[in-house]
Amino acid sequence: MVEKTIVLTGISANSIEDAVQLAVARASVTITGIRSAKVTDIEAEIEDRRVARWKVTVNCTFRVTESLHE
């Protein structure tokens, strides 16, 4: 088995969890079989002395499938 890991960035005004879910959901549109997501960085973007957005860096791992060409 071979797996590939890609780095994604998710941004949400609501929560860290929403930012992670958004990154995984958007990647799942074109990548099948995402097996894990590891949050490697969390950043709060500040505006007017308040947290305006959460920005997360996520490493998503998925299985590389073998396709045969006829």
Which phi and psi angles does 22 have, rounded to 5°?
Answer: -65, -45
The predicted-structure confidence for 12-66, as pLDDT tens digits, reads as follows 999 999 999 999 999 999 998 899 999 999 999 999 999 999 999 999 999 988 7
pLDDT at 22: 97
CATH 3.30.1660.10 assigned to 3-63: yes
Residue 66 has what pLDDT?
Answer: 73
Tell me the Cα Rg of the chain.
15
In the prediction, which pLDDT does 68 show?
Answer: 59
